[in-house]
Amino acid sequence: MTDRLRVLLVDDHAMVRSGFAMVLSVEDDIEVVGEAADGLEAIEQARATRPDVVLMDVQMPRMDGIEATRHLVADDLGHVVIVTTFDRDDYLFDALQAGASGFLLKNAGPEQLLDAVRAAGRGHALLAPEVTRRVIGRMAGEAADRAERPEPAGLAHLTAREREVLVLLGRGLSNAEIAADLVLGEATVKTHVSNVLAKLHLRDRVQAVIYAYEAGLILPAEE
């Protein structure tokens, strides 16, 4: 197949890389193109293999996964999904600020891993449900300050329907859930989501969640 998602595995434990490779390699639409044991090697491998998606550990020798993510995103060397053992807020928010398109814990099931790879490979993002709620929680906790600010100018470029979609994105809903909520087809929702990201110059759904809260479209009471 010519349209398979190319994946680079980055973890300092060979057994973890092997486990991920076993899960991914049996999928017809995914190809593992390389492995790396630290952040510096990840950058080298990404330049050599040009992956669509990089599964990135955090704690590694020489260069950690957060710093490596910054380099990969800055050089457009693939969408990064952080996969870590450590359920820590500092890792989560540092990873998102570095440009990661997803954040999963290593105890996630194979289906979650596959969903994250496919979402990132198609320019979207996927966060573990508990992670999404923490992002939302932090954004909601700052809502009082945002209430004093004027509405971002970018919102004026959205249609009424696109604004509705942005609000639902901000609540962490999937395309299927948005379609059900708005009584639309999933293909229509996908178009609206793409328009929202393009008009607001957002990289992916993670940035859309953050934007919706920073814009004051969702209030703490809604959580």
Look at the domain 142-222 and name its fold. Rossmann fold (3.40.50)
- At 105, list the tokens: 């814990």
Judge contact between 84 and 58, C-beta under 8 A: yes
The pLDDT tens digits for 124-151 are: 766 665 666 566 566 555 544 555 556 6
Following DSSP, what letter does each residue of 173-222 receive, concatenated? --HHHHHHHHT--HHHHHHHHHHHHHHTT--SHHHHHHHHHHTTSS-GGG
pLDDT of res. 18: 94
Q: Which long-range contacts (CB under 8 A, 24 or more apart) does 107-111 make?
A: 108/83, 110/23
Domains 5-127 and 142-222 share a fold: yes
Look at the domain 5-127 and name its fold. Rossmann fold (3.40.50)
The pLDDT tens digits for 42-86 are: 999 999 999 999 999 999 999 999 999 999 998 989 999 999 887
Rounded Cα distance between 100 and 82, Å, is 7
pLDDT of res. 223: 43
Domain positions in the chain: 5-127, 142-222
Rounded Cα distance between 30 and 160, Å, is 37
Residues in the chain: 223
- Indicate whether this model's pTM tops 0.85: no
> Which is more confidently placed, 106 or 24?
24
- At 114, list the tokens: 């596959």
The pLDDT tens digits for 2-21 are: 588 999 999 999 999 999 99
